[in-house]
Amino acid sequence: MSEPRASDVPPVLTGWRIGVVGLGLMGTPMARRLAAAGAELALWNRSIEKAEALASELRGVSAQPSPRHVAEASDIVIVMVTDADAVREVVFDPVDDQWGVLHGLAEDGIVVDMGTTGLSATQDLAGRLRMGGGNWIDAPVSGGTTAAEDGSLTIMVGASDPDFARVEPVLRVLGKRVTHVGAVGSGQVAKTANQMIVGMTIGAVAEAMALGRRAGVDPGLLREAIMGGFAQSRILELHGERMATGDFRARAKATIQRKDMRAALALAQTAGIALPGLETNAALWEAMVESGFGDLDHSALILAVDPPLED
């Protein structure tokens, strides 16, 4: 992956001190864009080699030995890790109680959680950080690695008005559509709704492609035929192609999608609403992972809908 050209990212963050904790599929291209925009970056990753490699490649970037050190070198800390447990670990360090972001965060510093953490966990984590003198923003994203690379992420933000104003220039470097949904936690509600639609739409495309194949129509031609009608969608375009070609290299693992569907079920229960379509689709994701397909791309849901015929 190449560093964004200077012309791609205007240097609007010159003088900003930003930390990035978590350099996975999303965190790495996001860090590249922030560096290209002129920010002074402090990085940490569980595999420290990733942070060191990126720091050696990018100007104004340093690798730090712990999340606490990242916070000490930053005014805003972006956290991009797998789930709520991982967020809790890097921010609060429940084991040694000294290496988490909280322990290096300046008074009135900001933590921006850009992962899919869920409403309940976000409210708990935000409350704990406030007691420690910090501010929490939930800003989960949609769009995948391609959007992270070109700065076209959709970002759903839960924050107070003053905190949103402080981080908006940073988010505008990372995303094309940045929406302040409401108070802390609102971004996670929006992301849960987004992931619910993604999971259910992948299921609809998988069932349609499976039906076509069983009825004797080539899946690739079926996708091409319906791309121009009302069924057209980004998921039909991208995931439908992967289903047709059998390219299930993980861009977003099925285990992560299952986690998101579980979060949607939990939120529905909390909100007191029955969603039968969600319940049916979530069961399909459970079956997919239990069948051993969890590490494949979530487009591989078609394998759970219609397993390939054995020779």
Euclidean distance between CA atoms 245 and 220, whole angstroms: 7
| Contact in structure between 167 and 98 (CB atoms under 8 Å) | no
153, 176 in Cβ contact below 8 A?
yes
Burial 78-98 (b: 16+ CB within 10 A, else e): bbbbbbbebbbbbbbbeeeee
Q: How far apart are CA 240 and CA 246, in angstroms?
A: 10
Amino acid identity of residue 66, one-letter, is S
The first and second tokens of residue 168, run together, are 């908006």
Indicate which residue of 50, 176, 191, 259 is catalytic: 191
Instruction: Please state, in angstroms and rounded to a whole number, the distance separating the CA atoms of residues 182 and 203.
Output: 30
- CB 21, CB 44: distance < 8 Å: yes
CB 21 within 8 A of CB 70: yes
Rounded to whole angstroms, the Cα distance separating 296 from 273 reads: 31
Does the active-site annotation cover 176? no
Give catalytic residue positions.
Answer: 191
